[in-house]
């Protein structure tokens, strides 16, 4: 197999990153029953303790879980007005702002949260994610490195790998992918990103091996098929057609036509 390389811009990683806030910013996949129960509890708490910042913070957090981002922003803003030193309220509002693509404002909130409490992981991770979306890759690397000093974590390693890839620092990116997989051997996104890095080195067979592992772990993950298709095509193999069609079947919003 030849050693032609594949290059993807930052848009590729936005697809790979889809649900990565699950660890640092709350898992929005909680059950509706729990969402309703939590919201009822915090509604009552706000009614009983309307001057307590914690009441609005709690309800805002429950609203994030329920996917009510705009309402959550309102509650975190109220919590901040009641207690301007409430670091987690700034952090959670920053998370909400990231979700709705208001990255500069999110960074402002994360800056305040970090200034108030430099030991918090959430605002460091959130600010790093915002810098990634703004293509400020070195700043993102600095924040993910700070996260890793506080808490070695597969997600932070992978985020830092993606930032390093964008800066063509492939050795560092590969090392971080390996570190992520050492912590979580079933991390599909890490195999996909490592495959991209291997392709940058011209190691397409190794890249295809990683993508095949990713697909074995999750047969419904479009980026793995899409990247394997691109590598097959670059190498002159007609196997790219089946992978591209499969990616499109899984996500028909992808920016290509099936063959």
- Mind listing the domains of the chain with CATH numbers? 1-18+169-259 (1.25.40.10), 24-152 (1.25.40.10)
What tens digit of pLDDT does each residue of 127-151 get?
A: 999 999 999 999 999 999 999 999 9
| Band of residue 256 on the pLDDT scale cut at 50, 70, 90 | low
Q: What mean pLDDT value characterizes the chain?
A: 87
- Supply the pLDDT for residue 217: 98
Residues in the chain: 259
Q: How many angstroms separate the CA atoms of 76 and 5, rounded? A: 46
How buried is residue 175: exposed, middle or buried, by Cβ count under 10 Å (0-12/13-18/19+)?
A: middle
- Rounded average pLDDT over 229-246: 95
Query: Torsion-angle region of residue 120: left (phi > 0), alpha (psi -120 to 50) or beta?
Result: beta
Return d(Cα 117, Cα 153) in angstroms, integer.
20
Is residue 12 very low, low, confident or very high in pLDDT (cuts 50, 70, 90)? very low
Per 3-state DSSP, what percentage of the chain is helix, strand, and coil (rounded to 5)?
70, 0, 30
Q: Give, in order, the Cα–Cα distances in Å from 71 to each of 8, 35, 79, 127, 216.
A: 36, 14, 13, 21, 39
Q: Which residue has the higher pLDDT, 3 or 168?
A: 168
Provide the pLDDT for residue 242: 97
Q: Where residue 152 falls among pLDDT bands split at 50, 70, 90?
A: very high
Lowest mean pLDDT of 29-43, 119-133, 149-163, 187-201, name the range: 29-43
- Whole-angstrom Cα distance, residue 97 to residue 72? 10
pTM, entire model: 0.84
Average pLDDT over residues 96-125: 96
Q: Provide the token pair at 163.
A: 């930032």
pLDDT at res. 22: 40
Query: pLDDT of 65-75, one tens digit each?
Result: 889 999 999 99
Q: What is the pLDDT of residue 34?
A: 63
The closest of 141, 168, 175 to 156, measured between CA atoms, is 141
Q: Residue 32 has which token pair?
A: 């509706």
Give pairs for 152-156: CB < 8 Å, separation 24+: 152/179, 152/183, 153/23, 153/183, 154/179, 154/180, 154/181, 154/183, 154/184, 154/187, 154/190, 155/20, 155/23, 155/24, 155/125, 155/180, 156/125, 156/128
In terms of pLDDT, which residue wins out, 204 or 44?
A: 204
């Amino acid at each position: 197999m030849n050693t032609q390389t594949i290059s993807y811009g930052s848009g590729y990683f936005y697809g790979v990153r889809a649900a990565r806030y699950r660890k640092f910013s709350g898992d929005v996949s909680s059950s509706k029953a729990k969402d309703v129960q939590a919201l009822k509890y915090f509604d009552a708490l706000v009614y009983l303790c309307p001057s307590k910042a914690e009441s609005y913070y709690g309800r805002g957090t429950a609203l994030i879980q329920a996917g009510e981002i705009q309402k959550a922003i309102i509650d975190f803003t109220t919590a901040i007005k009641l207690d301007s030193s409430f670091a987690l309220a700034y952090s959670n509002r920053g998370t909400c702002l990231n979700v709705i693509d208001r990255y500069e404002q999110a960074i402002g909130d994360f800056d305040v949260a970090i200034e108030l409490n430099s030991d918090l992981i959430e605002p460091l991770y959130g600010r790093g994610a915002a810098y990634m979306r703004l293509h400020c890759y070195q700043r993102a690397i600095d924040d993910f490195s700070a996260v890793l000093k506080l808490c070695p974590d597969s997600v932070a390693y992978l985020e830092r790998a993606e930032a390093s890839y964008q800066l063509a620092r492939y050795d560092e990116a590969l090392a971080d992918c390996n570190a992520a997989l050492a912590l979580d051997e079933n991390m599909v996104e890490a195999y996909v990103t490592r495959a991209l890095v291997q392709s940058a080195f011209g190691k397409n067979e190794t890249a295809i091996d990683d993508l095949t592992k990713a697909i074995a772990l999750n047969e419904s993950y479009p980026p793995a098929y899409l990247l394997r298709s691109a590598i097959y095509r670059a190498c002159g193999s007609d196997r790219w057609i089946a992978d591209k069609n499969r990616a499109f079947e899984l996500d028909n919003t992808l920016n290509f036509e099936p063959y």
